[in-house]
């Protein structure tokens, strides 16, 4: 696989095109909050956005709710603990 992460300008453009706040972008990408989002969009050395994070966010935008839920259920069957209704908590199991 050859992956080049989006630039900070690309991420700013995406945020603008979606008309979302930093907190909403953090939620979309599965980050703990807008302070984490800013680590990918600013500063002297912004973090590169991983392919997995981009895929997750774009899947949430493009896939219908039933499809996302089917994938989440498959993840749970594989042993994943996940609750998309909360952010920043890594140990909340939804059975």
Q: Is 45 helix (H, G, I), strand (E, B) or coil?
A: coil
Burial of 91 (0-12, 13-18, 19+ CB in 10 A): exposed
Residue 49 lies in a domain: yes
Domain, as residue range, for 17 = 8-77
Question: What is the pLDDT at residue 70?
Answer: 94
Residue 63 lies in a domain: yes
Question: What is the pLDDT at residue 56?
Answer: 92
The total of structural domains in the chain comes to 1
Question: What is the pLDDT at residue 90?
Answer: 43
- The pTM of the full predicted model, rounded to 2 decimals, is 0.79
Residue 89 lies in a domain: no
Residue 86 lies in a domain: no
Alpha carbon distances (Å) from 10 to 20, 38, 53: 14, 13, 15
Residue 88 lies in a domain: no
Question: What is the pLDDT at residue 95?
Answer: 39
Q: Which residues of the chain have pLDDT under 50?
A: 88-95
Residue 85 lies in a domain: no
Question: What is the pLDDT at residue 91?
Answer: 39
């Amino acid at each position: 696989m050859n992956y080049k992460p989006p630039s900070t300008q690309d991420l700013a453009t995406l945020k603008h095109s979606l008309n979302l706040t930093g907190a909403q972008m953090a939620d979309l990408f599965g980050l703990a909050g807008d302070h984490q989002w800013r680590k990918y969009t600013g500063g002297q050395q912004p973090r590169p956005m991983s392919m997995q994070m981009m895929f997750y966010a774009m899947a949430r935008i493009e896939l219908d709710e039933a499809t996302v839920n089917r994938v989440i259920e498959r993840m749970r069957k594989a042993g994943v603990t996940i609750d998309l209704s909360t952010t920043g908590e890594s140990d909340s199991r939804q059975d």
